Amino acid sequence: MTTEDNYLDVIELNVGGVTYATTISTLQQAEPDSPLATITSINSSETRTIFGRDNKNRIFIDRDGVLFRYVLDYLRNKKLSLPENFSERDRLRLEADYYRLPNMSRALGPYRPYANANGKYFNENSVHTTATTNSIDLNSSFSSSRPPPPRSNSGYIVIGYRGTFAFGRDGLADVKFRKISRILVCGRVHLCREVFGETLNESRDPDHGQTDRYTSRFFLKHTFLEQAFDLLSEASFFMVGCAASGCSSSTSEIGKQTDNEENRWLHYNEFVFYRS
């Protein structure tokens, strides 16, 4: 931003690893005590102290980057607009509470503690009201209001990565470092979130619905295999298998020797972890 007092100035935010671009006027739609409104009322040095900056000097907010899109939509439209069958209202309400948006929290409705495997919630009050005002089977009404059995905490998580070795200038360096572009995470959604928490990037997952489903579109916000393994171990997961593939053929394209050397050592590995 060149002139932060201009309400049309564009501002970039890094929320949990997901980048957003908006205007100061949009953030000013938040309540005065909201952290988002605070961004527009303080100078750059104060912003750095409160929120921090990423490596591209964008304001960094350590919250759920995927759900922030709905917070931003609410500020732009002054109304709540969610996809059909959206089932992460409770998580979104936590975000609304953090950003101090009470009207958005109220629009999301009361907390709903019981959800079935499809992400749909039971409303005990509505069930009991229906049973009072209509002549229906009380036994079936009672059974439908029971919470479902707890979801399983056992299962598999697969960690995969494509990597090579980083060589020095002209491939002459004696020391060769491991080079990983991205660590992929596959498995049941609630298990992945439990294990990796805030280090999990969900921005490439097309379905942000129920948590008792499987995905192969998660990846980590870092590239440290040992950190991922430590988190799995702390969550009582054990490695039960692994597989690897590689390519040692040289490329025919004319380019730098360093690039050719790295291409020769490209490989893909997967590690399977299980918790009983």
pLDDT of residue 125: 43
Spatial distance between the Cα atoms of 81 and 70, rounded to a whole number of angstroms:
7
Number of helices and strands in the chain (H, E): 11, 9
As a whole number, mean pLDDT of residues 174-196 equals 86
Spatial distance between the Cα atoms of 75 and 96, rounded to a whole number of angstroms:
11
Task: Count Cβ atoms within 10 A of the Cβ of residue 213 and give its class: 0-12 exposed, 13-18 middle, 19 or more buried.
Answer: middle
User: Average model confidence (pLDDT) for the chain?
Assistant: 77
Q: What is the pTM of this model?
A: 0.46
Residue 132 has pLDDT above 70, yes or no: no
Cβ 92 vs Cβ 100: under 8 Å: no
As a whole number, mean pLDDT of residues 54-71 equals 88
Q: What is the DSSP letter of 150?
A: P
Place of tokens 């439908």: 144
Handedness of CA 84, 86, 89, 93 (dihedral sign): negative
Strand partners, 246: 267
Spatial distance between the Cα atoms of 78 and 91, rounded to a whole number of angstroms:
20
Handedness of CA 207, 210, 213, 216 (dihedral sign): positive
Domain ranges in the chain are 10-107, 155-275
Provide the pLDDT confidence category of residue 8 given band limits of 50, 70 and 90.
Answer: low
pLDDT of residue 116: 44
Provide the pLDDT confidence category of residue 84 given band limits of 50, 70 and 90.
Answer: confident
Give the CATH architecture of domain 10-107: 2-Layer Sandwich (3.30)
Question: If phi over 0 gives left and psi between -120 and 50 gives alpha, with beta otherwise, what is residue 109?
Answer: left
Q: Give the tokens for residue 35.
A: 């952290």
For residues 55 and 1, the model is more confident at 55
pLDDT in tens, 209-248: 566 788 998 999 999 999 999 999 999 999 999 998 876 5
pLDDT of residue 265: 82
Residue 115 has pLDDT above 50, yes or no: no
Residue 55 has pLDDT above 50, yes or no: yes
